[in-house]
Amino acid sequence: MGSYSFIQPKPKPLLSAFSKIWISFILFVSVLLISFGIFLLLKIHYYKIDKVNTVNERVALESKIAKIDTYMEYLLRQKSLGEEIYTRNTLLKESMKNLFDLVPDKITLNRVIIKKNSLIIYGRTPTKDTFNFLLSAPLKSIFTTSNTMFYLTQNGWYNFVSTNKIAPTDGFSE
């Protein structure tokens, strides 16, 4: 076969330089945008994981707060009971001190029974009047009811039993 051209044939490129530039540019921009999209998706994924972890940590902290609150309530009940006991002891001391301070020197006590709402005093007094003026009057001002029985002794003094009661709700604290 004969040759129809003086120059050697060269294979024609499938794409022109112009096309190659454009295709490369489009591909480059696409890759850039897809990479950015993937980057965002990864960030979203990590934010979601971090959020779940943060929520879990918060729930753990809240549970710790609830435990502390329960424990503090328990301690506050303990504190309140402790203070109440200390106050009761102090009140009892003051009550007894007041009671013994009330008793004049002329009257001798043989026995004192202190209950929550009552006070029973056994003792000796030279006269009924001494008792009535010096001890009975202050007792009557403290207690709701106050009754005294006298027994004459051989030496002319009186043995007495004074029963004093206070309204049940108040308790003996004077």
Partner 1 sequence: MVSVSNSRDRSLEKINYIKLLIYLSVFILVTLILILALVLPSIKRYRVARNEYNQAMVHKTRVEGVLKQREKELKQLQLSNRKIFDSFGHKFSQNEFTNFANKFFDTVALKEVNQSMYTDEYKVYELNVTTLLKTPVKFYKFLDGLNHYQNLIQADFPIDLKSRGDLIHSSFKIKVYNAMKKK
Task: Point out which residues bind partner 1 (CB under 8 A).
Answer: 10, 12-13, 16-23, 25-26, 29-30, 33-34, 36-37, 40-41, 43-44, 47-48, 50-51, 54-55, 57-58, 61-62, 64-65, 68-69, 71-72, 74-79, 81-83, 85-86, 88-90, 92-93, 96-97, 100, 108-116, 172
Q: How far is the CB of 18 from partner 1 (least distance, A)?
A: 4
> Do residues 122 and 161 lie in contact, with contact meaning Cβ atoms separated by under 8 Å?
yes
Residue 130 burial by Cβ neighbours in a 10 Å radius (0-12, 13-18, 19+): middle
SS3 149: strand
Our CB check for partner 1 shows the closer of 45 and 137 to be: 45
- Shortest Å distance, C-beta 134 to partner 1: 18
Nearer to partner 1, 129 or 167 (CB): 167
Q: What is the token pair recorded at 145?
A: 């009811």
Nearer to partner 1, 87 or 127 (CB): 87
State the minimum distance, in angstroms, from the CB of residue 131 to partner 1: 17
Considering beta carbons, is residue 62 or 170 the nearer one to partner 1?
62
> What DSSP string runs through 54-123?
HHHHHHHHHHHHHHHHHHHHHHHHHHHHHHHHHHHHHHHHHHHHHHHHHS-TTSEEEEEEE-SSEEEEEE
